[in-house]
Amino acid sequence: MKNLPLFLILLTFIACQPEKKPTASAGLAKPTALSYKYDSVKVYSKHPVSEAENIKDTSKAVISYPVFEVEKINQFIAQKVLSSANPDEQYANYQDFATAFIKNFDDYTNENKDYIQTWFMDGKVEVTEQKPQYLSMLYTYVNYAGGAHINSSFNYLNYDPENQVEIALDSLIKPGSMPALTAVAEKIFRKNENLSPSASLKDIYFFENDKFSLNQNFSITNNGLKFLYNPYEIKAFAFGTTELVIPFADLKDIARPNSLLNPLN
């Protein structure tokens, strides 16, 4: 998948929201160190958007997330989620995060009595890859708080359950090999985008100095090293997300020995 229209992403995400009741993780016959269940918090505004009796809509904030038996994993997930909307804000837990969003709506509507739009926030952390040495989760954050359109971001969280640390891209590749990785990725990107090797990136894309670059938003899949660019990151909002996958075969001279980028692991 190269480009995924944003409205399809949002419709799929909202339609697939889990119920508040926790569910056991699929595929696990018995509890393991990576056993988990899903849980969620939901906060609704008590202020309807209109005083009309036939209008009952109000704003809501929903956050769903996996709960692992290993508490350090839960702390890692919470830290990423609670700092996602505004790194300068400090929230004690998911409930406080959701409540703060609704408070902003309530404060705004109290000052703007004729405002009749609802706001919403949907945050979802989903386990996407799970191995003894590797845990990858996709954090999808979608919200609307007025303005021209919905805001959204899709970010991978990568964790080493054995050593209980976050996995950074630099830890997977040989020192000084980022230029080589970028060059390989650019060839794939240009092929996906139907661009010639010399075509300019200036008119359509938002790369700094019109030069292709990789971000740190990645996941290790069965097919290779996948990167994801968010809406507005390298293209206009209407294009949605952009993904590119670097096959393991193209990483053999770049990956650290015995790293997760070795498909034998």
- Could you state, in order of their start, the residue ranges of all structural domains in the chain? 3-166, 169-251
* CA 75/CA 64 separation, integer angstroms: 15
Tokens of 257: 């020995």
How far lies 81's CA from each of 14, 89, 162, 265, in Å? 18, 12, 22, 29
Q: Does domain 169-251 have CATH number 3.30.460.10?
A: no
pLDDT for residue 29: 35
Q: Per residue of the chain (265 residues), what is the pLDDT tens digit?
A: 445 445 444 444 444 444 433 344 443 334 455 899 999 999 999 877 666 666 667 899 999 999 999 999 999 999 999 988 777 788 999 999 999 999 999 999 889 888 878 899 999 999 999 988 999 999 999 999 988 789 999 999 999 999 999 999 999 999 999 999 999 999 999 999 999 999 999 989 999 999 999 999 999 999 999 999 999 999 998 899 999 999 999 999 999 998 899 866 5
pLDDT for residue 1: 46
DSSP summary character for residue 213? -
pLDDT for residue 218: 98
* CA 190/CA 176 separation, integer angstroms: 23
pTM, full prediction: 0.84
CATH of 3-166, one of 3.40.50.1390, 3.90.1410.10, 3.30.565.40, 3.40.50.150: 3.30.565.40
Helix (H) or strand (E) holding 62, with range, is strand 60-68
Q: What is the dihedral of CA 126, 131, 134, 139, to 10 degrees?
A: 0
How far lies 128's CA from each of 14, 26, 159, 194, in Å? 18, 12, 12, 29
* CA 67/CA 207 separation, integer angstroms: 37
Q: List, in sequence order, every beta strand (DSSP E) within 105-255.
A: 120-131, 134-144, 151-160, 165-166, 218-221, 224-229, 241-247
Tokens of 42: 């939901």
